[in-house]
């Protein structure tokens, strides 16, 4: 579904991604693991059109999307939930969700997806008329994910969905990621919680200082001694 070949991405003179190659097949959950500053968020921003690769290629469903505008990429079916839960604080929960569907014209489908988001996140239904800025961090993360679902993406890019959340919320978010995937959305997940990410992923890539240094099935990486020491708390 998504093929990234040898992309190099720079912030000014600093090279953030160095020849990154990876692929995501339809129906998979693929996770990117790595320390802060390794280039994981940069990769998602490049895939969603917020950053442009200097060299290399990005192919989605057989077509090149390298350097295309973010809006074109959303239209093609890729939704990005950035780190830090960017919700529109002064708008209500429901208005935020409706914004997710702004490129769609199918009123009945939008209504059905709104109902589905409320089914997945009952908390959002309870708070649908509330200003989004008054929600807790966990609720804002639910809202950011709900808004992405409203775009009805084929591929969902999730950047650190569990960051800063209470353990109970983390569990909920991971269950929801699996549910979204079971409903037919392919997922590329960036996550600091490597154990949790590997427990739901099909495959994983480890990124260090802008390079892919390890890849394999989630089970292979869970069993990797090298990875255990670096990212899985050593046991």
Reported as a single tens digit per residue, the pLDDT across 153-171 is 999 999 998 888 888 888 8
Per-residue confidence in pLDDT tens, the chain, 235 aa: 999 999 999 999 999 999 999 999 999 999 999 988 899 999 999 999 999 999 999 999 999 999 899 989 998 999 998 887 678 889 999 999 999 888 888 999 999 999 989 998 999 999 999 999 999 888 898 899 899 889 889 999 999 988 888 888 888 889 989 989 998 999 999 998 888 999 999 999 999 999 999 999 999 998 888 777 777 765 4
Closest residue by Cα to residue 173 from 192, 154, 153: 192
- Give domain status of residue 117, yes or no: no
pLDDT at 56: 97
Domain range for 35 is 2-84+153-231
Confirm whether 107 is domain-assigned. Answer: no
- The answer as to whether 104 is a domain residue is no
Asked whether residue 98 is domain-assigned, the answer is no
Q: What is the pLDDT of residues 36-85, one digit of tens each?
A: 889 999 999 999 999 999 999 999 999 999 989 998 999 899 999 888 76
pLDDT for the residue numbered 235: 44
Which residues, 6+ apart, have CB-to-CB distance to 196 below 8 Å?
162, 170, 174
CA 210 – CA 220 distance, rounded (Å): 22
Tell me the helix, strand and coil percentages in the chain, rounded to 5: 40, 25, 35
Q: Structurally, how many domains does the chain consist of? A: 1
105 Cβ contact partners less than 8 Å away, ≥ 6 residues apart: none
Question: 149-169 in b/e burial notation, b at 16+ Cβ within 10 A?
Answer: bbbbbbbbbbbbbbbebeeeb
pLDDT of residue 172: 85
For residue 196 the two structure tokens come to 């949790």
Kindly list the distances between the CA atom of residue 107 and the CA atoms of 15, 76, 97, 110, in Å, as whole numbers in the listed order: 44, 19, 14, 5
Residue 136 lies in a domain: no
- Residue 135 in any domain: the answer is no
**Alpha carbons 205 and 41: distance in angstroms, whole number:** 13
Tell how far CA 31 is from the center of its chain.
9
Please check whether residue 42 lies inside any domain of the structure. yes
Q: Is residue 134 part of a domain?
A: no
The Cα angle at residue 80 between residues 67 and 166, in degrees rounded to 5: 145
| pLDDT for res 138 | 84
User: What confidence score (pLDDT) does residue 94 get?
Assistant: 95
Q: How far apart are CA 157 and CA 30, in angstroms?
A: 10
Residue 59 is part of a domain; what is its CATH number?
Answer: 3.40.50.300
What's residue 17's pLDDT?
A: 97
């Amino acid at each position: 579904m998504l093929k990234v070949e040898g992309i190099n991405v720079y912030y000014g003179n600093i090279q953030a991604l160095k020849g990154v190659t990876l692929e995501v097949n339809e129906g998979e959950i693929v996770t990117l693991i790595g320390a802060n500053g390794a280039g994981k968020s940069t990769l998602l921003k490049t895939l969603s059109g917020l950053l442009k690769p200097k060299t290399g290629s990005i192919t989605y469903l057989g077509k090149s999307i390298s350097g295309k505008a973010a809006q074109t990429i959303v239209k093609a079916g890729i939704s990005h939930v950035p780190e830090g839960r960017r919700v529109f604080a002064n708008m209500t929960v429901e208005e935020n969700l409706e914004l997710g569907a702004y490129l769609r014209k199918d009123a009945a489908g939008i209504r059905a997806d709104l109902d589905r988001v409320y089914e997945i996140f009952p908390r959002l239904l309870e708070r649908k008329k509330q200003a989004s800025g008054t929600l807790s961090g966990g609720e804002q993360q639910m809202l950011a994910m709900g808004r992405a679902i409203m775009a009805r993406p084929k591929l969902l890019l999730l950047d650190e969905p569990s960051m800063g959340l209470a353990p109970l919320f983390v569990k909920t978010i991971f269950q929801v990621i699996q549910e979204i995937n079971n409903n037919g959305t392919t997922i590329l997940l960036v996550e600091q919680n490597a154990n949790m990410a590997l427990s739901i992923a099909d495959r994983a890539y480890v990124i260090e200082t802008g390079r892919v240094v390890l890849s394999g099935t989630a089970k292979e990486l869970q069993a990797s001694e090298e990875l255990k020491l670096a990212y899985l708390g050593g046991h």
